[in-house]
Amino acid sequence: MPDLFNIMNNAFDRSPLLNCHSIPASNIYEDENGFTIEMAVPGFKKENFKIEVDNHRLTISAEAAQPEGDTRKVHRREFQAQSFSKTFTLSEKTVDESKIDASYENGVLTLMIAKREEAKPQPARMIAIS
């Protein structure tokens, strides 16, 4: 799977010790029909996200809105929604870029990416001897 999803254009991914809180944690799963990306991105609304595919690159980004009118004094802040952008390179041999669906629920952004028919497992085939 390493050549299917390569994280690109994110300096924080190259150095996990630098401000790792600004990178959404991601899980990638595969089954016979496709791939699922789950990103932990609490604090956003679905309209904050921008998801686009261009030249075999899937880019997921979001702009965090600054809360207006919040006059509370902050004593400790351990989490907050932060703007981000994360890009994955998609394998043109494996992924059907026209079949990508996204949903956002309970702070998790989920993308379902279908495999091309030719990339799905094929049943065994018997070869006749002539």
Task: Encode pLDDT of 5-30 as tens digits.
Answer: 544 433 333 333 333 344 789 999 99
pLDDT tens figures, 85-111: 999 999 888 999 999 999 999 999 999
CATH level 2 (architecture), domain 6-119: Sandwich (2.60)
Report domain extents, the chain: 6-119
Least reliable range by pLDDT among 7-11, 35-39, 49-53, 97-101: 7-11
Q: Read out DSSP for the chain?
A: -TTT-EEES-HHHH-TTS-GGGSPPEEEEE-SSEEEEEEE-TT--GGGEEEEEETTEEEEEE-PPPPSS--PPPS--------EEEEEEPPTTTEEEEEEEEEEETTEEEEEEEEPGGGSPPPP------
pLDDT tens figures, 112-125: 999 998 888 888 88
